[in-house]
């Protein structure tokens, strides 16, 4: 392994992978270490044989980074724990990516007002394929939120398949 210091441009792969510290609070900062970390899209739930698994992630990856993501004050998770949580579900990767590229909502949704989810900001996405449909929240499957930041692909005609949805809460 290299003895170069961990940091942008000097990230080690595998056991020595550098995970940047995550900040808490409601500050707004330009994209930095965590935004870059998210855009590396290194989580196994997001990639398969070098390809992005999710059309939502593929869409979000084409957007410009807007800000550095911040955790809510009451979370207190170390960066490694947050990284593990993001890697536990593809929706969590989408949530992290949305924090970097989405627009801050004028008024927080009911889910964010209740303090659900890990992120300090309520974020919406105004890109392609956006609709206002209920989405699962991090609290439990089957519960929904009125969040304005979900992305939904059109449902193919004649199918009962539920199209993917996007929320800024963890699953």
Neighbours of 117 (CB within 10 A): 26
The band of 27, judged by pLDDT with boundaries at 50, 70 and 90, is very high
Higher pLDDT, 137 or 83: 83
Mean pLDDT of 116-130: 80
Cα torsion through 140, 111, 171, 16, rounded to 10 = -140
Residues 95-117, mean pLDDT to the nearest whole number: 89
Q: Is the pLDDT of residue 119 over 70?
A: yes
| Alpha carbon distances (Å) from 110 to 45, 46, 118 | 28, 28, 15
A 10 A CB-CB count for 148 gives 18
Domain boundaries, the chain: 21-145
Q: Look at residue 35 and tell me whether its pLDDT is greater than 90.
A: yes
Instruction: Tell whether the model's pLDDT for residue 34 goes beyond 60.
Output: yes
Q: Residue 4's pLDDT band (boundaries 50, 70, 90)?
A: very low
Query: How does pLDDT run across 39-65, given as a tens digit for each residue?
Result: 999 899 988 888 888 888 888 898 999
pLDDT confidence bin for 10, thresholds 50/70/90: very low
């Amino acid at each position: 392994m290299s003895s170069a210091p961990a940091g942008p441009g000097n990230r080690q792969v595998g056991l020595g992978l550098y995970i940047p510290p995550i900040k808490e609070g409601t500050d707004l900062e330009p994209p930095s270490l965590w935004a870059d970390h998210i855009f590396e899209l290194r989580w196994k739930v997001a990639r398969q044989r070098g390809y992005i698994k999710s059309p939502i992630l593929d869409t979000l990856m084409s957007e410009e980074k807007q800000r550095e993501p911040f955790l809510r004050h009451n979370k207190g998770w170390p960066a490694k724990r947050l990284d593990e949580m993001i890697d536990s579900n593809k929706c969590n990767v989408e949530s992290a990516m949305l924090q970097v590229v989405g627009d801050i909502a004028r008024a927080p949704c009911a889910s964010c007002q209740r303090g659900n989810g890990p992120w300090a900001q309520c974020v919406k996405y105004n890109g392609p394929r956006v609709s206002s449909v209920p989405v699962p929240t991090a609290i439990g499957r089957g519960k929904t939120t009125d969040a304005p930041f979900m992305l939904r692909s059109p449902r193919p005609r004649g199918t009962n398949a539920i199209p993917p949805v996007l929320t800024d809460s963890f699953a």
